[in-house]
A and B are shown apart, each in its own frame.
Chain A
């Protein structure tokens, strides 16, 4: 083992952290970026995904249960998101502060519900056996570097989700409506687009992705009632750094944040690399207040 292995390992870790951030932030990029809904319960959608996976591993065993859990987590969280949108958020459009408070309330209710149903100390979910190994790199200058399969798996899931969402937004009729509503809600409405239905779909898709993210992350992180809180700050950071309403920006921001903190940790501690990261984001936002990819839309002009 030598320094180059550490650096190479950290570069891989940077991509791995970026994929985790991307999974956690994509749903938020949809609801916050496209709809301006500050969903404080986004972290709890991840948490819900984790618990749904736990239930599935109980029912179907560790291997298949984990895969079924990912599907169930996506649809479960999406269904809950649809319920939330239609009963709560719909009544509060155009009142961002009220939405913030209401969704925060939902987040507290969900945390307490998890505590009451599953107990306060978290449940045990481990990665399925087929994700347990790692890929060893040998015969080169990087001998000794080994890449955990579970991290590769998370990168692949993040890539598939990002690809899927991009296709949906760019290539489907629903995606066209989403882009139209994002660009100019009033005009889209006037031209006959069912903006209410578009809102419901976007929000529900966002929470569904969060649920899927929560299910995937059970392989490396805990499943507790408050686990969502750990992701939400970084998710908002990535969405704001990336620029509201831009999926490409979200991807770029996740990669920048992941690589930044991973390379910073080659020379410093994790606490200090977090400090450096926040300083970097604050300076960056001074020069590009609208993030990396500032998309032009009337909605942004209003904000």
Chain B
């Protein structure tokens, strides 16, 4: 049996590739380093939002490494692309935990991506730090929820509106899980507080026709609109409201998915005078925030900074502090230590993780200015304890970790 020279060359090549690839995926990390996963959409529709969170996450890792690392070990990030596809998120999460043997993962944006990763972290024993506000109604020991629960973003906005004297609320959102759940909770509280729901409407994701909805809003005559529209739909909505003679200066709009980058793309002139509720604004007069903004702008000049980015930054710093406190990279020890840390300021005021592994944080309401920045006009009385299951909307459900 004589082999052709070409075939032999190929098999040699294949063998050497096999050797090389098995070497590079070996879970041995260089001495004095610890691997963490960073899993965001770097391509696809969500990349616009998630690349900036990845940048903020990397900034935190670089800062820690510059100060000598965690327990003397340099952090080695393994960056993966979720591709704006929940199935890819699940697959990459498994790769990070099983092949790369990372000690923790920072990432995710959409609820769909989080829900897809959750079973992976539960099954293969991993820990995910999730940076985005969401609809709550979920509680797992394998996720640290640093983004706001509904009672930390949406309900504070309702408190603010009540105090301002708004009586009649029109709920408008894109048709998917976050707006539907947020409005479910809002309706319960609006009715409970003796106020009225003037109307509730949903537009398919990416929808651009608001002619009928503007008409219905006019007919309902609400005193304020609570807006959970996503992305470009906001542009069409605000343009068509303005065309119908109802700019935000005439009929106030409180938005839950418009932060600094969205305001920049929609156009501040169109949004001027509209409100947003978040747990962080770039304009926050906090000395730690000033340093974060300066450090970020040194690397990425002129780019707006928003709430999920500071959460991505905070997650890494909190994880490092928890590791130092636990004196271990062990997942169970780290997540317990994270909830035992004292209040600290990472740029968004005093925060800490509660026993239910969600972040205790302050709620802010901002008014959009022509510059594209928000002027902070209201803040909650203090940091708000996170409540994953709203007691009015989901009675009897509790989070016990």
Contacts and interface: CB of A to CB of B under 8 A. Distances in A.
Interface stretch (A4-12, A201-209, A247-255, A293-301): A4-12
Interface in A1-34: 1, 5-6, 9-10, 13, 16-17, 20
A148 B235 CA distance: 17
A224 B262 CA distance: 12
Contacts of B243: 127, 131-132, 134, 148-151, 219-220
A189 B232 CA distance: 47
A10 B211 CA distance: 8
A86 interface: no
Contacts of A221: 208, 235-236, 239
Given A270-B201, A270-B202, A126 B211 contact: no
Contact of B267 (A10, A124, A220): A124
B269 interface: yes
A121 interface: yes
B261 interface: yes
B398 interface: no
A150 B240 CA distance: 9
B301 interface: no
A93 B214 CA distance: 45
B215 A124 contact: no
A265 interface: yes
Contacts of A229: 206
A126 B270 CA distance: 8
Interface string A111-132: 0000000001111101100011
- Choose among B175, B240, B243 the residue with the greatest number of A CB atoms under 10 Å from its CB: B243
Interface in B196-237: 201-204, 206-209, 211-213, 215-216, 218-219, 221, 232, 235-236
B242 interface: yes
A16 B232 contact: no
Contacts of A126: 239, 242, 267, 269-270
A180 to B, nearest CB: 38
B230 to A, nearest CB: 12
Contact of B211 (A1, A6, A224, A262): A262
A270 B203 contact: yes
Interface in B167-192: 175
A262 B269 contact: no
Contacts of B240: 148, 220
Given A122-B265, A221-B239, A13 B202 contact: no
Q: Which of B212, B245, B264, B266 has the most CB of A within 10 A?
A: B212
B78 interface: no
Contacts of B201: 269-270
A13 B270 contact: no
A222 B208 contact: yes
Contacts, number: 114
B45 interface: yes
A133 interface: yes
Interface in A167-209: none
Chain A interface residue count: which class? 35 or more
A211 B239 CA distance: 20
Contact of A271 (B47, B175, B208, B236): B175
A261 B266 CA distance: 26
Nearest to A136: B245
Given A1-B219, A221-B236, A230 B206 contact: yes
B112 interface: no
A127 to B, nearest CB: 7
Given A126-B270, A274-B204, A121 B265 contact: yes
Given A146-B245, A271-B203, A10 B215 contact: yes
B212 A127 contact: no
Given A6-B219, A226-B45, A271 B261 contact: no
Contacts of A9: 215, 218-219
B48 interface: yes
A227 interface: yes
A121 B175 contact: no
A27 to B, nearest CB: 18
Contacts of A262: 211-212
Contacts of A220: 208, 236, 239-240, 243
B87 to A, nearest CB: 21
Nearest to B235: A222
Contacts of A146: 244-245
A134 B236 CA distance: 17
Contacts of A149: 243
A144 B244 CA distance: 12
A124 B219 contact: no
Interface string B333-357: 0000000000000000000000000
Given A151-B211, A220-B239, 10 more contacts: A13-B211, A121-B265, A122-B232, A122-B235, A132-B243, A148-B243, A219-B243, A224-B265, A265-B216, A270-B203
19 contacts: A1-B218, A6-B215, A10-B212, A16-B211, A121-B262, A127-B239, A220-B236, A222-B236, A224-B232, A224-B235, A226-B232, A227-B208, A227-B232, A230-B208, A270-B207, A270-B209, A270-B212, A271-B202, A271-B203
Interface of B: 45, 47-48, 175, 201-204, 206-209, 211-213, 215-216, 218-219, 221, 232, 235-236, 239-240, 242-245, 261-262, 264-267, 269-270
Interface of A: 1, 5-6, 9-10, 13, 16-17, 20, 120-124, 126-127, 131-134, 144, 146, 148-151, 219-222, 224, 226-227, 229-230, 261-262, 265-266, 269-271, 273-274
Closest 3 CB pairs of A and B: A124-B267, A222-B235, A121-B265
